[in-house]
Every structure is written in structure tokens, then in C-alpha cells.
């Protein structure tokens, strides 16, 4: 079964530092997503990415966030200057809509980001 | 905007008990509805889905029926097992085919005791 791989599984960073969260989506998927879940709260959509550009982004995805697909396999989320409130679990996902709504929509195991 | 309201947890049941986790939604148009499950240390996995009114999604003994009149998609299972212990998320997707942004509920942690 193909997987979406996220690294690292856990990252601790100091407030104000830049972090890059990495994801390797499933190879034949076309759409890529980042979600986050603050501890005890709901999973929230951050951004979707298609054809090397952002398709949609949420209000959370402000100027401190950026996404990139640098080499055709990795999909990264960068947070430029981390804040305490960025501490959360970040999930990457990818899908190929040719398989139908919902099918093939695969999530990674997540990166737990802790800002201290 | 779209939203999903999910039954508060945690929920603890004995093995072989009946399970219902309530989920209601608010959305424009005709969303697709999903239940995702997250086992400890793992990612979110699609459990079942329904794409139109009166559809019933089912998988691994779990069922949920898309009720447009009550805007609900409650998850049910007749006899739970210890292996069903996980966090369950109700979610919806708008009808924008291709860009399937998901809107999630808060999740319900289910613990089954032997």
C-alpha cells in the first residue's frame, strides 16, 4: 500500500526560528495538502497545492507559511518565524481525484512540532 | 462556511457493546461526508464515505448514512472490539472536484475495554 511519508516525526524548535516540515506524497498523486491539529482541537486545513502552485489556502496560512515542491517528490511546509501557538501536529496528504472523491486521499503520520 | 459538529469524547465502552458517534454538518451545496480513523501513532485513514443523500457508507462493521434532512452522518457499529480503540473524525468535502479540502470535526476518542 503506497504511503505518504513525513519527516521528522517530532521537531522541537525555539520561538522565532524557521522550520521546514517535509513530506513525500504518493508518486502518482496530483494534489497535495497540509493540515494541522493543535492538541485537543480539530484538524484544520492549511493549504492545497496543484500544478506547482497554491490552489487554496485558509486564513491560518498567513505570510509566515510557505509551501514548495522543490524536486518533484518532496512537498515542504516552511514556517519562517515560529510562534508558541504554532505548536501542533502537522499532517501532509495527497490524492489523485481520478479515483473518485475520498478514495486515494492519503494522510501521512504527521509531524509533531513543539515551539519552546 | 462549512462546519462539522461531532460528539464530544472520550467514549469508553465494553467489548461487544453498540456504538454511536454523532456527527452533524453545515455546508452549502452537496458535500461528501467521511469518517476517518486514527490509530495510535498512525495517520488518518479513511474508514467510510457517502457522496449523496441516503447513501450508506460501510467498512469493518461500521456504518453511517448520509441524512440530508437532519444534516447528519452518525457512525454506528453493532458490536465493538478492543481493536476499534482509536480517534474517529467526521469530515466533509465540498463539491469542488479535484481540490478536496476537508473540514473536520474535533474527533472522538473511543476506548474499548475487554
Q: Of A50, A91, A103, which is closest to B44 when you measure between CB atoms? A: A91
Give the nearest chain B residue to A35 (CA atoms).
Answer: B102
Q: Does B73 touch chain A (CB under 8 A)?
A: no
pLDDT at B98 over 80: no
DSSP string, A69-98: --SSS-EEEEESS--GGG-EEEEEEEE-GG
> How far, in Å, CA of B89 to CA of B52, rounded?
19
Query: Would you call B102 and A109 a contact, using CB atoms and an 8 Å cutoff?
Result: no
- Model pLDDT for residues A69-113, shown as the tens digit of each residue: 988 889 999 999 999 999 999 999 998 776 666 566 789 999 999
Q: Which of A112, A114, A113, A107 is nearest to A24 (CA)?
A: A107
Q: Which residues pair with residue B23 across a beta bridge? A: B6
> pLDDT tens across B33-70, in order?
999 999 887 888 889 999 889 999 999 999 999 999 99
Amino acid at each position: 500500500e503506497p504511503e505518504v511519508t513525513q519527516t521528522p516525526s517530532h521537531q522541537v524548535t525555539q520561538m522565532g526560528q524557521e522550520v521546514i516540515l517535509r513530506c513525500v506524497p504518493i508518486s502518482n498523486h496530483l494534489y497535495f495538502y497540509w493540515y494541522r491539529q493543535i492538541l485537543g482541537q480539530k484538524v484544520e486545513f492549511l493549504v492545497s497545492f496543484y500544478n506547482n502552485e497554491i490552489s487554496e489556502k485558509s486564513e491560518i496560512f498567513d505570510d509566515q507559511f510557505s509551501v514548495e515542491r522543490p524536486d518533484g517528490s518532496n512537498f515542504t511546509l516552511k514556517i519562517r518565524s515560529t510562534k508558541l501557538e504554532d505548536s501542533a501536529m502537522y499532517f501532509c496528504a495527497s490524492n489523485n481525484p481520478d479515483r473518485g472523491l475520498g478514495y486515494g486521499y492519503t494522510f501521512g503520520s504527521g509531524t509533531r512540532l513543539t515551539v519552546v | 462556511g462549512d462546519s462539522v459538529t461531532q460528539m464530544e469524547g472520550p467514549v469508553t465502552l465494553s467489548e461487544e457493546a453498540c456504538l454511536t458517534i454523532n456527527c452533524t454538518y453545515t455546508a452549502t451545496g452537496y458535500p461528501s461526508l467521511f469518517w476517518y480513523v486514527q490509530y495510535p501513532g498512525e495517520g488518518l485513514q479513511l474508514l467510510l464515505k457517502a457522496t449523496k443523500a441516503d447513501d450508506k457508507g460501510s467498512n469493518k462493521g461500521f456504518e453511517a448514512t448520509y441524512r440530508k434532512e437532519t444534516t447528519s452522518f452518525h457512525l454506528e457499529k453493532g458490536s465493538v472490539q478492543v481493536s476499534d480503540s482509536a480517534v474517529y473524525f467526521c469530515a466533509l468535502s465540498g463539491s469542488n472536484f479535484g481540490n478536496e479540502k476537508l473540514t473536520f470535526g474535533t474527533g472522538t476518542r473511543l476506548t474499548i475495554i475487554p
